Structure 1
Amino acid sequence: ADIARVLDRPVNTIKSDIHRGLKRLRPLLEQAVRT
């Protein structure tokens, strides 16, 4: 909710942004752990 207030965006939008970001980051993180 704090992030949404700072960015002046709806909470649900922030949640979906975070979800999408994590989905894109996870493979990179797993790759980094593997090497």
Structure 2
Amino acid sequence: QEAIVAKVASNVAIISLTDSLRISLKNIELNKL
């Protein structure tokens, strides 16, 4: 059961990382305009 919790936690961390990366990319593209 602990393995499942760890897997979920890492998935959440990856999702939040990709979300913040996407936001940063959007901001960079907006700054280019």
| Normalised-by-shorter TM-score class | 0.5 to 0.7
Higher relative contact order (CA 8 A, sep 6+): 1
- Give the count of matched residue pairs: 26
TM-score (norm 1): 0.51
The TM-score with structure 2 as length reference comes to 0.54
* Higher Cα radius of gyration: 2
* Aligned residues with identical type, % of pairs: 15
Q: Which runs of 5+ in 2 are unaligned?
A: none
Query: How big is the alpha-carbon RMSD for the aligned residues of Structure 1 and Structure 2?
Result: 1.8
Name whichever structure is richer in helix by fraction: 2
